Amino acid sequence: MSLPDDDPVYTLKKVMEDLDFSGLLANCSDKRRTGYNPVLMYAVITYANMRGIRTIDCIVDLCERDIAFIWLTQGRKPKLQQLYKELEHCGQRLMHYKEYFEIMGKGRNSYSKTDLEATFMRMKEDHMLNGQLKPTYNVQIAVENYFIVHCYVSNEDQ
């Protein structure tokens, strides 16, 4: 018995080979870790989600019985507690990202944690010549005969 040539597990495996997991691995300790590495755990959870499987008990069961999961995990069965921990960690990160995107809103790609309305813009070189991005507002003032006739304040980079 073998997998069909067009099984999505092959596509997932190819995509995973091209991804950089250094950030994920940097947050994981090798101490007292046995069995699954975080990249393989991520692959299992991702493949389960691709197939519409969301329960951990079902994922663990499929890692023992489903040929695609067995192929992906190289025959190793994940520990139930490891999956719960990984899903909880992923869930927390997703909630943080959701919060960040809600704060940022549509049409923006950054915000300042100290001033949520400000956006990051590259300023003129300062005395240190480091040209950092700084939280700023775009302020434009129209003046005629020394009087301000119009002003515009925005958090958009224009």
The structure tokens listed for 84 are 């719960």
Instruction: State CA 18 to chain mean position distance.
Output: 16
Q: What is the pLDDT of residues 39-58, one digit of tens each?
A: 888 888 889 999 999 888 88
State the pLDDT confidence band at 30, using cuts at 50, 70 and 90: low
Report percent pLDDT > 90 for the chain: 13
Mean model confidence pLDDT for the chain = 80
Give DSSP secondary structure letters for 44-91.
Answer: HHHHHHHTT---HHHHHHHHHH-HHHHHHHTTPPPPHHHHHHHHHHHH
68: left (phi over 0), alpha (psi -120 to 50) or beta: alpha
Least confident of 56-60, 87-91, 106-110, 127-131: 127-131
Q: Angle at CA 20, nearest 5°, toward 51 and 103?
A: 75
> What integer is the mean pLDDT of 100-121?
76
- The pLDDT value recorded for residue 34 is 55
Q: Which two tokens stand for residue 92?
A: 């927390």
Query: Which uninterrupted H or E stretch holds 122?
Result: strand 119-122
36: pLDDT confidence band, cut at 50, 70 and 90? Answer: low
Res 22 pLDDT > 60:
yes
The 3-state DSSP class for residue 142 equals strand
What distance in Å separates the CA atoms of residue 106 and residue 44, rounded to the nearest whole number? 32
**Residue pLDDT, tens place only, 115-129:** 777 777 777 666 776
- Give me 15's structure tokens: 């995509």
pLDDT band at 32; cut points 50, 70, 90: low
Give CA–CA dist 16/73, Å, rounded.
13
Q: Once rounded to an integer, what is the mean pLDDT over residues 94-115?
A: 78
Q: How much is the pLDDT for 149?
A: 92
